[in-house]
Amino acid sequence: MLNKVQLTDSLIGLNLVYIAMSMPFTVFLLTAFFRSLPMEMEEAAALDGASALRTFVQITLPLAKGGILTAFVLQVVAHWNETLLALTLIQSTEKYTLPVALISFVQQQTYSGADWGGLFAGLCIVVLPMLVIYVWLGRRLTEGLTLGMGK
C-alpha cells in the first residue's frame, strides 16, 4: 500500500506505519484509564455549567496525566528501539533511523576492522535519550500503570 502512494522510502510513510501500529495499544490503554477516573468530577462540572470541552480540558486531562504519560513513554521506547520496519521500509542511507544506522555501522566494521570507540559512541547516542526520558518520567510511568489497580 505504501508503494502505491510512493511512501516506501520516506520517513512520512514510516511514521504512518508507526502511528497505525501504536494506535490500538494506546486506545486500549487510555480507554481503560479514562474509565477508571471518577465520574463525580465531571458531573459536578456539568452542574456548575461547564461545557463538555471545558470539562475535558480542565478536569479530565489533568486527572489523566499519569495515563497519558504512561502511554507516551511506552510508545516512545517501543518506536525508538524499532528496527525491523525501518530496515524494511527505508532503503536510502540518509533516511536511516538510529538503530538501522547502527546496524549498518556494525556491518561496515566487519569488513574494515572494528572501531570500538565509534561503536560505543553510537550505542551511547541510541541509549542515552531513552535513559534520560525514563529517569525523567519513570515515576510517572509506575504511577500511571498502578493507578487503576485499587478498584
**Which CATH number is 138's domain given?**
1.10.3720.10
pTM value > 0.85: no
Stretch (H or E) spanning 126: helix 116-146
| pLDDT attached to residue 20 | 92
| pLDDT attached to residue 27 | 94
Query: What's the pLDDT band for 19 if we cut at 50, 70, 90?
Result: very high
In a domain, 31, yes or no: yes
| pLDDT attached to residue 25 | 92
Query: What's the pLDDT band for 151 if we cut at 50, 70, 90?
Result: very low
Query: Is the pLDDT assigned to residue 68 strictly greater than 70?
Result: yes
Query: What's the pLDDT band for 38 if we cut at 50, 70, 90?
Result: confident
| Residue range 106-150, pLDDT digits in tens | 888 877 777 788 888 888 888 898 888 878 877 766 665 565 544
In a domain, 2, yes or no: no
Query: What's the pLDDT band for 93 if we cut at 50, 70, 90?
Result: confident
Residue 125 CA, chain-centre distance (Å), reads 18
In a domain, 117, yes or no: yes
Q: What are the grid coordinates assigned to 21, written together?
A: 501500529
Domain count, the chain: 1
The stretch 31-53 carries a mean pLDDT of 88
Q: What are the grid coordinates assigned to 146, written together?
A: 498502578
In a domain, 1, yes or no: no
For the beta carbon of residue 91, count every other beta carbon within 10 angstroms.
10
In a domain, 3, yes or no: no
Range of the domain at 129: 11-150
In a domain, 6, yes or no: no
d(CA 133, CA 73): 8
Query: What's the pLDDT band for 14 if we cut at 50, 70, 90?
Result: confident
Query: Is the pLDDT assigned to residue 88 strictly greater than 80?
Result: yes
In a domain, 90, yes or no: yes
